[in-house]
Structure 1
Amino acid sequence: MAQAATSDGVTRVGAIDVLRALTMVLMIFVNDLGSLTNIPTWLDHVERNVDGMGLADIVFPAFLFIVGMSLPFATDSRRARGETDLTLIWHVILRSIALLVLGVFLVNGETIDPAASGITQIMWNFLVSLCAILIWNVYPKSVSVWIQRLLKACGIVGLIIMAVVYRGDGGVLFATQWWGILGLIGWSYLVAGFVTVLSKGRLWVLVVAWLLLVCLSFVWASGQVHGPLRILPEALIDGTMGALTLGGVVMGTLFKMYQAKADNRKMTVVFLILALGLIGLGIYTRQFWGISKLRATPAWLFICSAITIIAFTAVYWMNTKKPMAKAFTLIKPAGTDTLLCYLTPSILAAATVSLPQLADILMTGGIGLIKSLMLAFVCVGLTACLTRIGIRLKL
């Protein structure tokens, strides 16, 4: 698949964008499953102490893996523009902080007390999304620098005010809680980003770093992490989150190597062999700790990594066929403006809050699943509309 340069100069790879878009559509879909009743159990999350995983438990690790696959291309693109390692590391830090901030604000919305805070959960999530747009939007050049700074300042002040007035269940104050999905991505990106920059594209360094994180995942699953390390966020010390993202970096680096040689068939064979090896590791380690997303077990790491590699390989070959490539353009905004797409359900919920609630039949069984899938596609369409009017987030 040929590479294409976007307007901001960042090199993109079509198959990675497509897989990211598909994953985001699925993420919005599974996030809406909580509103439904009478749906197949294999679609939903599996409880913490249960050995197994549903579709919803596969989507998030796939997204982490795809974040990693994009890193080698983004890093090379920035280096080509003359950025130093120090600049690249600073970019990784700032981007991680942005994801952590958004993650914390959104996760606090899950436990907000509307009466004590003076704001409903729907409006909280909408205002967080609005502030994010004000702060991280890529403003058109026609907008003066001073207006851009004013809008960004409004977004920052808005978040500060929200944090101050926030009250959760039982009157608790604004806190990090579990960091949220975006926060977990932020911690994982921080680890993988540092390794990617410092490795300078050396595959063996990336593989060794991945193996170290896998070992840390074993240690965490065994309950052997003690002492001062316990004060660090779980996403940093469990090894699993970082290994998912860094595994993506390894595969992205391999992908680059095979693309340079135009050896797609060998790449496919290697990718499938690696996927089968990871599945084997997942089956073997399952006997010790089971498969669990909420416990971030090694088996979950291995099997989800394998599934994502297989999915990427399939998408890559489908995307080389013109009819399939055209079909993927329908969801393209979810792959190129992913953060904005992730925030659109909050925007949509606020825009429709005054409308009557959907009938029970639309929230049950197969019809409910169709409703959730339609919601995902509506969010993709809303993302496309927002992009056309000049809203495009860049952390």
Structure 2
Amino acid sequence: MTNPDAPTDATPAPAPPAETPSPEAPPVAAGRVDSVDVLRGLTILLMVFVNDLGHAAPSWLHHIEPPDADGMTVADLVFPWFLFIVGVSIPLAFQSAFARGATTAGQVGHILLRTVSLLFLGVVYEGAGGDRTLGGARWTLLAFVAIMLAWTSPPREPGRKRTTFLVLKGLGAVALIALLAIYRRRPADTSLLFYGPVEGWPWFRSEWWGILGLIGWAYLTVALLTLWLGKRREWLMGALGVLILLHLVMNQGGLFKHVESKAWLAPVGPAVSWLRGVVDWIGSYVGIGEATGSLAAITMAGCLLGSILPRGSDVATPRERTSWTLTFALGLFVAGLVTDGFAGINKIGATPTWCLWTASLAALLWLALYLVVDVAGWRAWSIVARPAGANPILAYFLHPIVTEALSVAGIGGQVMAYKDSANPGIVVAGSLGMALFVCALTGLLARLGLRVKL
């Protein structure tokens, strides 16, 4: 399942918090890197902004048209930047987990659980608007509120606040189960896992995993590879190259295209046939070349950048991190230039050039934020985005919750009239206001104790 022309938004797993750094190397390396949260928050701000835009907004703010065009716009940067930030968070999360005494087996279980959660939420997000029982807007509003409560992370300290959030968490889970039970959409022919074609299926059906699901597959791929390869940065870089090659191979006939022509493989022919069947079966449910290939390569690029940030990193000072990131970004750009001849630049196709160049831009943006926020200490301005960066799943679902609530209340047309304006300035200003409102609301709910984690 590859990503069709859907909104490029998604939210990654949160990075662990960081301490206040200073220009000197040890404090910067030993503490939290605030620029990671700022980058995530700015990406969420951009996500809400471009997803909220009306038709009159400038074309370079919308997704590229036609969808198979060779090029990209600002909107086409959002999804890959989320994937990149997911990767940045992986080494930081592993360091934090193992410092608390986590085991490798426990981390594998955590990775699988988070992946399943992302796949589930991705499918629910994509199918929410199709409900005919309560109506798309009502079902979506209730389901997304239930999701936020079901995945809330209660405070650890015992007391009334923790008890309250535990009760809300339970109510959210029960409400979500009930909403899933009554969900009905227009009947359609479909195919079920391990079953086959079904006629007139009226429940959830998705032809792809949604943005969150694609993030889940990329996260699964890179997190397991990182757990296996460890801190060897050159091995992670090699894995990034293999993931790009996997995309190219799958789009040039597949892994087994020339097997029949190789007589020396005859002795292991049955094993090869079995392996090809397994790959084909997996490929019928997930785009191997995209979700676990080139899209995972973006996440791996973020993981490589994240590998210089943990405590004890061999790339510790601002000068070293600047030099490393500039070299890395240049390498990604050159690699994207080399692969441009295969399929050009295209988000829908998850082409290698699009993946490598968006990762390069993400690395450069992080570097700029790192120098401003962590090194220079100019962080007051980042309050507009940092709360959303620290609570990304909440921010991801808040935008549709706000818009559906306005719709159910019957005032959506009036409040969001800017979207239908023929004036590009009004459209842009209105959507920017919506994005800032969602980020501010995320921060307010976080201050009240609502933190959503997978």
Q: With structure 2 as the length reference, what TM-score do the two structures score?
A: 0.78
Would you say the 8 A contact 1:221–1:298 is kept in 2?
A: no
- Deviation track 1:122-172 (CA, whole Å, cap 9, x = no partner) reads 223222222212221122332598876664444334333333333334554
Partner of 1:139 in structure 2?
154
1:160 is the counterpart of 2:177: yes
1:376 is the counterpart of 2:435: yes
1:4 is the counterpart of 2:19: yes
Letter paired with 2:37? D
Letter paired with 1:319? V
Give ranges in structure 1 of 5+ residues lacking alignment: 6-10
1:44 is the counterpart of 2:62: yes
Q: 1:269 to 1:356 in 2, by over 3 A?
A: closer
Superposed, 1:316-395 pairs within 5 Å as 316-320=370-374, 324-353=378-407, 354=409, 355=411, 357-358=413-414, 363-364=420-421, 365-395=424-454
Deviates more, 1:321-330 or 1:244-253: 321-330
Rounded Cα–Cα distance in structure 2 between residues aligned with 1:14 and 1:59: 20
Partner of 1:211 in structure 2?
241
Rounded Cα–Cα distance in structure 1 between residues aligned with 2:245 and 2:312: 28
Rounded Cα–Cα distance in structure 1 between residues aligned with 2:116 and 2:160: 26
1:231 is the counterpart of 2:281: yes
Q: 1:223 to 1:301 in 2, by over 3 A?
A: farther
Q: 1:177 to 1:149 in 2, by over 3 A?
A: farther
Letter paired with 1:189? Y
TM-superposed CA distance for 1:323, in Å, is 6.6
TM-superposed CA distance for 1:100, in Å, is 1.2
Deviates more, 1:205-214 or 1:350-359: 350-359
Q: 1:303 to 1:356 in 2, by over 3 A?
A: closer
TM-superposed CA distance for 1:271, in Å, is 1.4
Rounded Cα–Cα distance in structure 1 between residues aligned with 2:320 and 2:165: 48
Q: With structure 1 as the length reference, what TM-score do the two structures score?
A: 0.89
Rounded Cα–Cα distance in structure 2 between residues aligned with 1:325 and 1:259: 24
TM-superposed CA distance for 1:303, in Å, is 0.6
Would you say the 8 A contact 2:345–2:354 is kept in 1?
A: yes
- Deviation track 1:89-120 (CA, whole Å, cap 9, x = no partner) reads 1111111111111111010024x05xxx2223
Q: 1:382 to 1:149 in 2, by over 3 A?
A: closer
Rounded Cα–Cα distance in structure 1 between residues aligned with 2:35 and 2:133: 45
- Deviation track 1:312-345 (CA, whole Å, cap 9, x = no partner) reads 1111111136673110123211110111011111
Rounded Cα–Cα distance in structure 1 between residues aligned with 2:289 and 2:170: 34
Rounded Cα–Cα distance in structure 2 between residues aligned with 1:146 and 1:381: 26
Letter paired with 1:305? A
1:67 is the counterpart of 2:126: no
Would you say the 8 A contact 1:235–1:242 is kept in 2?
A: no
Q: 1:322 to 1:253 in 2, by over 3 A?
A: closer
1:55 is the counterpart of 2:74: yes
Would you say the 8 A contact 1:23–1:59 is kept in 2?
A: yes
Letter paired with 2:353? A
Q: 1:360 to 1:3 in 2, by over 3 A?
A: closer
1:81 is the counterpart of 2:100: yes
Deviates more, 1:47-56 or 1:299-308: 47-56
Q: 1:12 to 1:350 in 2, by over 3 A?
A: farther
Superposed, 1:50-129 pairs within 5 Å as 50-110=69-129, 112-113=130-131, 117-129=132-144
Rounded Cα–Cα distance in structure 1 between residues aligned with 2:36 and 2:143: 28
Q: 1:390 to 1:234 in 2, by over 3 A?
A: same
Root-mean-square deviation (CA), in Å? 2.5
Question: Which structure would you say has the larger Rg?
Answer: 2
Superposed, 1:267-306 pairs within 5 Å as 267-306=321-360
TM-superposed CA distance for 1:296, in Å, is 0.8
Rounded Cα–Cα distance in structure 2 between residues aligned with 1:363 and 1:315: 34
Letter paired with 2:175? G
Q: 1:77 to 1:235 in 2, by over 3 A?
A: farther
The secondary structure found in structure 2 opposite 1:133 is helix
TM-superposed CA distance for 1:268, in Å, is 1.3
Q: 1:119 to 1:383 in 2, by over 3 A?
A: same
Rounded Cα–Cα distance in structure 2 between residues aligned with 1:274 and 1:291: 20
Would you say the 8 A contact 1:103–1:183 is kept in 2?
A: yes
Rounded Cα–Cα distance in structure 2 between residues aligned with 1:369 and 1:302: 29
Rounded Cα–Cα distance in structure 1 between residues aligned with 2:321 and 2:432: 33
- Deviation track 1:160-189 (CA, whole Å, cap 9, x = no partner) reads 333333333455431233111111111111
1:193 is the counterpart of 2:223: yes
Partner of 2:203 in structure 1?
173
Would you say the 8 A contact 1:282–1:302 is kept in 2?
A: yes
Letter paired with 2:67? R
Rounded Cα–Cα distance in structure 2 between residues aligned with 1:270 and 1:151: 45
Would you say the 8 A contact 1:12–1:73 is kept in 2?
A: no
Letter paired with 1:290? G
Give ranges in structure 2 of 5+ residues lacking alignment: 1-16, 21-30, 189-201, 257-275
Rounded Cα–Cα distance in structure 2 between residues aligned with 1:169 and 1:66: 37
Superposed, 1:237-248 pairs within 5 Å as 237-238=289-290, 239-248=293-302
Q: 1:261 to 1:210 in 2, by over 3 A?
A: closer
Would you say the 8 A contact 1:48–1:295 is kept in 2?
A: no
TM-superposed CA distance for 1:71, in Å, is 0.9
Rounded Cα–Cα distance in structure 2 between residues aligned with 1:225 and 1:120: 44
- Deviation track 1:68-102 (CA, whole Å, cap 9, x = no partner) reads 00111111001000010111111111111111111
